Amino acid sequence: MQDMIRTGEESGSLLQLLSNLSEIYENDLEQWVAGMNSLLEPLIISLLGLIVGSLVLAMYLPIFKLSSII
């Protein structure tokens, strides 16, 4: 990157070069965020499923135990 900036300064097209660099880094960041989203979504959904399932089990387990006592 430093060599590119140096070349841009010497050729007088520093503004265009920095604009291109910002687009490249922005695209890299967008791809990284999309990749992280695709990895985290199933993990979060599974975690929420476990939480909801444990709450449902905690609510219904005493009811089932009462019915077996009677």
Higher pLDDT, 68 or 14: 14
**8 burial class (0-12, 13-18, 19+ CB within 10 angstroms)?**
middle
Query: pLDDT tens digit string along 11-46?
Result: 888 888 889 889 999 999 999 999 999 999 999 999
Here the tokens at position 60 are: 């219904």
DSSP 12: T
Q: State the residue for tokens 């965020």.
A: 33
The verdict on pTM exceeding 0.85 is: no
